Amino acid sequence: MNEEQRRLVDAACRQRERSYSPYSRFRVGAALLGRSGTVYLGTNVENASFGLSICAERAAICRAIADGERAFTAIAVCADGGQPTPPCGACRQVLLEFGPDLVVLMAGNRGADGPVLAATAGELVPLAFTDFSANLADERAGASGEEQGPK
């Protein structure tokens, strides 16, 4: 793990402290590195109707998109517990939307000082359905004249 990745993991672990998780008490923080160098933070936000909860990874992506960032190089996820926790299936699919080479760093409550797993979004979702596999990116570009997907 390089120094930039270590800082990203540490940022995700600090963000975990802001979790709103009164039901599961399982806190998760995420730090998403945009290609611009900006780091976008997110945390899980639970709801009494569990299906309306949002994961830290998707919260960070929503923040980045709202700020105009569209390309990402890495995301760190830090969860309660001693072992790294991989993203849920929904988050894996959303991460993959931004490219199969997006690096996903997964840490437990000790952050960069504990075990950290690393994989790409593509490795986390083998045989995935994406706009690339369906040629949707080409169709969108042809319809509007400009590319809309990841760069």
* Enzyme catalytic residues: 57
Reference 124, options 150, 149, 99; nearest CA is 99
SS3 category, 140: helix
DSSP code per residue over 81-103? SSS--PPPHHHHHHHHTT-TT-E
Name the percent of the chain in helix, strand, coil, to the closest 5: 35, 20, 45
Token pair for residue 95? 């991460």
Element (H, E) at 122: helix 121-124
CB 144 within 8 A of CB 138: no
Euclidean distance between CA atoms 81 and 65, whole angstroms:
29
